[in-house]
Amino acid sequence: MTKSEAILKVENFNVEFWVEGVWYPAAIDMNFEVAAGEVLAIVGESGSGKSTTAMGLMGLLAPNARSSGSVTVKGVEMLNQPASTLMKFRGKEVAYIFQEPMTALNPVYTIGNQIVEVLRSHFDMGPEVARERAIELLTLVEIPNPAKSFDKYPHQLSGGQRQRAMIAQALACDPALLIADEPTTALDVTVQAEILDLMRNLKDKLNSAVLLITHDMGVVADLSDRILVMKDGLTVEENTSAVIFSKPSHPYTKALLSSVPKLGSVAVRKLQPEAAKAQPVIEVSDLVIEYPKRGRIPAFRAVDGISFSIQPGEILGLVGESGSGKTTVGRAAIGLLPVHEGSIKILGNEIAGASMKDLRQIRKYTGIVFQDPASSLNPRMPIGESIGEPLFLAREARGEELNKRVEDLLDSVELPRSYRNRYPHELSGGQKQRVGIARALALSPKLLIADEPTSALDVSVQARFLELLQELQDSLKFACLFITHDIGVVDILAHRIAVMQNGKLVEIGPRDQILSNPKELYTKALLAAVPVPDPAEQKKRREARAKLLASVK
Amino acid sequence: MAINFKKKNNSEEPVELNEAGNEAAGTRGMSQGQIIRRRFFQHKPAVAGLVFMILFTIFVYSASGIHLGTSDNPFSIQGWWPYTITTVSDFSACGSGCPSAAHPFGQDSIGRDYFALVTRGAEISLMVMVVIGGLGGLIGTVIGAVSGFFGGIIDAVMMRITDFVITIPSILIGAVIGYRVGNLGVLPLAVFLGIFAWTGLTRLVRGEFLSLREREFVDAARVAGASNSRIIFKHILPNSVGVIIVSVTLLLSGSILTETGLSYIGFGVQDPDVSLGLLINKYQDSFNFAPWLFWWPGVIIIAIALSINFIGDGLRDAFDPRQRRRIKKKDFLTTSAK
């Protein structure tokens, strides 16, 4: 690959944001090139300026931003050009794949319609021809039954299919440059693996240049040729994939690499023997949960006859793809959803059919950490009050004592005490999730339910968060039901792992047995989908996974 | 090269706060209410509006005295202003009743002191506003909150009642009440109007509650052991306060008009009693020969409406923690030219 082939060329690129009277740099002195058929990955935590860079390249920044330097696509200057010039390039030469397909696709148009729109605005094309081409594109991205999917609305497709539709839309005009902004962050591990496979195939077929933006080193290992690591707007390190993974030179790159959970890298955590004999903290037997029928939509059985129990001090990882019913189990265990059949016993107290008064009593032994920290904290309540609320309502502490307990809780999750008067939006995602834990632990529960607490977090933040949770668990000895779609996460924490699929329990057993010697095919597939931050190793795993999937078919 | 950049909300390190005073607060815990109060008092126009409203109300009531009851059975405490709305005095020096030392606001066409009329009118308009706005706001918020929070049958029944009330025009209500029970005076009329003024607010609050009750923080509060009423009033209501304040502010300004309209067709405020709306209505033609008759009530209505809007603004900003100073074009240009 010679320099002349470079599709995208970025020189001395700077982006600054105007915040409260001061210009804050978000991307500083960026220099890079992407050639045709090459994948350049920009890696960094949230806030490192990687998305800003990607958006800035095409002039899609917020009005309080300014950019300088030079960005050329196929030799044409893009930066600070009038909208009419950019319009010819956007969609046609440069295409975007956004992070969240549900919000990036217009919910009131069919996906076919949206692809046709791109086609017809860039080419002189009749509706029939455009439709044919759109179906061809949908076939290319391997959407099941493309002709039928053409007329489907975004909400009728699964997350993975939506992302495929968006890729089809991005590819509509054979773009020379494809910018993928965290294309798999919102997806399950198994779906992520599929989308990565697809992108790798397409890149070879179309010979486009790809700029991949992500925080996940595992994803990068799977796909990229070269890597650029960003921190606080600065380029920390740039090199080929192989070098970055084998000999990272910058400490930040090393830290980023080490924060990716690696399967089987941690020694199994021992459970105290006496705990095994004690009364289980939670005992679930033959649990069935149905969402009642609504109008013509029949009742949906989300959880279908599952049984498990957790001993005091034990962490059970509940793993499954989205839609497998794992979150439903967690919410039922704390009485937020009615139990249809079967029973859930918390320390011997039955939850199924319990009255509000009984539930209030049972909830004193349980705490829950919700999936989305942005939604689970009241935006109009200072976090100190959120944390203190369970104590206040349980009449455990009032006034000065409550004050003291809230401070202790903030200390235990390693947040500064001065944060107590802040509102949730003034905290980062990781900090908000710590507040969530502090609130869940306020009443020193015997059982903590953690519902995908790390799915909204960066990998490096996630690593720190899991460490904290582990420390807390070691000192407080609560039992924990840890719900996640990422087997890599439970690997660090769990004593035992349960795998769910379509509302049924597929497999349950000690961590080592599930990870090293899974019995069920589904568990194997789930394990194979976890990306590993090592290109050579990942290549092997990918091939093994392909073989495994082929054998199923 | 500055590397101090830290994108807010995303980094794991402590985020620098640009709001002064928050760090100084140290570890002292502050409740939602305390923080809202502090933020409200940092909002200068709102405080100015509040101070004006308090001083103006005291001034008006002390000048004109308190007058309640019906015309047959009046209850009055005289204020410090020597003239009443019924005293007719000789025209001052300029003949047409223009403002003078004895009558600072001038005199009306038959020689009544206009200051007495305007203060009395302001008194009545303020009372009507407060009663209609307060009652309408209270009923609207409670019904909307209950109906949106519980949903199902409760929601359906309450919304049909709301639909029914919406179809009845308030002029008709005033007219029927005036016809059936005679002219009771301003206070009962304001109460009746308030009882029928909540419908728009109810719809808005219900909509807010419908979307907010699905948020996870409601579940989190429930798990923490919160009762329904605590979830409604402590958790969801502060989140829908923006809608409520905007709507109540409009209701307050609207109530001046409703009262004027009713008085015009003969219900509500009757001669010799006055309200600000009635004064403007009566003297809109005197703009050329006796402009003070038009200007004084007009300026006072504008001042009241502005203060209420400022107070509303301040409340909304105080409740919304996200509210920050907006970027002005001017600042943007001056700093970009470095």
Contact between B9 and A21 using a beta-carbon 8 Å cutoff: no
Task: Specify the pTM.
Answer: 0.76
Interface test with chain A among B3, B5, B13, B237, by most A beta carbons within 10 Å: B5
Q: A169 and A303 share a domain?
A: no
Q: Smallest Cβ distance to B220: which of A46, A232, A376?
A: A376
Final residue of a structural domain among A157, A174, A191 = A174
Q: What is the ipTM of this complex?
A: 0.73
A353: left (phi over 0), alpha (psi -120 to 50) or beta: left
Residue A487: domain span: 273-381+435-531
The stretch A211-221 carries a mean pLDDT of 82
* Local structure of A18: helix, strand or coil: strand
Nearest-CA distance A345 → chain B (Å): 17
| Whether residue A330 has pLDDT greater than 80 | yes
Contact between B332 and A18 using a beta-carbon 8 Å cutoff: yes
Q: A366 and A474 share a domain?
A: yes
Final residue of a structural domain among A151, A174, A197 = A174
* Tens digit of each residue's pLDDT (9 = 90 or more) over A434-454: 899 899 988 889 899 998 888
Please give the DSSP secondary-structure letter assigned to residue A297. B
β partners of residue A181:
A213
* Tens digit of each residue's pLDDT (9 = 90 or more) over A161-201: 888 888 888 888 888 888 888 887 777 777 888 888 888 88
Q: Smallest Cβ distance to B321: which of A64, A379, A464?
A: A379
Does residue A314 belong to any structural domain of this protein?
A: yes
Does residue A80 belong to any structural domain of this protein?
A: no
For residue B22, CA distances in Å to A380, A418, B12, B239 come to: 16, 8, 19, 22
Task: For residue A442, list chain B residues with Cβ-Cβ distance below 8 A.
Answer: 224
- For A429, the closest chain B residue by CA position comes to B10
Q: What is the rounded CA–CA span in Å between residue A442 and residue A390?
A: 7
β partners of residue A483:
A318, A451
Give chain B's domains with CATH numbers.
57-73+115-323 (1.10.3720.10)
Q: What is the rounded CA–CA span in Å between residue B319 and residue B237?
A: 10
Q: A170 and A297 share a domain?
A: no
Side by side, the strands of the sheet bearing A300-310 are A300-310, A282-291, A341-346, A349-350
Which structure tokens are listed for A274?
């006496």
CATH code of A439's domain: 3.40.50.300
Q: What is the rounded CA–CA span in Å between residue A173 and residue B156?
A: 50
| Whether residue A488 has pLDDT greater than 90 | no
CB neighbours of residue B191 within 10 Å: 15
Q: A348 and A465 share a domain?
A: yes
Q: How many domains does chain A have?
A: 2
DSSP-assigned states of every residue in A93-125? TEEEE-S-HHHHS-TTS-HHHHHHHHHHHHS--
For residue B67, CA distances in Å to A117, A227, A319, A428, B177 come to: 70, 81, 73, 58, 21
Final residue of a structural domain among A174, A193, A221 = A174
Q: A167 and A291 share a domain?
A: no
Q: Name, in order, each residue with C-beta under 8 angstroms of A309's C-beta and a sequence gap of 6 or more.
A: A280, A282, A283, A284
pLDDT tens series, chain B, 338 aa: 333 333 333 333 333 333 333 433 445 667 777 888 888 888 889 999 999 999 999 999 888 887 776 666 667 777 788 888 777 777 776 767 778 777 888 888 788 888 888 998 898 889 889 999 999 999 999 999 999 999 889 999 999 999 998 888 877 877 777 777 666 677 877 888 888 889 989 999 999 999 998 888 998 898 888 889 999 998 999 899 888 988 898 888 888 778 777 777 777 777 777 888 888 888 878 777 788 888 888 899 889 888 988 998 888 888 877 765 555 555 555 544 33
Q: What is the rounded CA–CA span in Å between residue A162 and residue A514?
A: 31
Give me the amino acid identity at A87: M
Q: Smallest Cβ distance to A428: which of B11, B224, B241?
A: B11
Q: What is the rounded CA–CA span in Å between residue A482 and residue A193?
A: 23
Q: What is the rounded CA–CA span in Å between residue A453 and residue A439?
A: 13
Interface test with chain A among B10, B214, B243, B320, by most A beta carbons within 10 Å: B10
Q: What is the rounded CA–CA span in Å between residue B74 and residue A43?
A: 80
Contact between A234 and B320 using a beta-carbon 8 Å cutoff: no
Q: A168 and A286 share a domain?
A: no
Does residue A255 belong to any structural domain of this protein?
A: no
Q: Name, in order, each residue with C-beta under 8 angstroms of A68's C-beta and a sequence gap of 6 or more.
A: A12, A13, A14, A79
Does residue A318 belong to any structural domain of this protein?
A: yes
Contact between A376 and B17 using a beta-carbon 8 Å cutoff: no
Which structure tokens are listed for B279?
């004064």
Does residue A506 belong to any structural domain of this protein?
A: yes
Find the DSSP H helices in B26-151: 32-42, 44-64, 114-150
Q: Which pLDDT score, from 0 to 100, does residue B23 have?
A: 39
- For A445, the closest chain B residue by CA position comes to B224
Q: A360 and A487 share a domain?
A: yes
Does residue A15 belong to any structural domain of this protein?
A: no
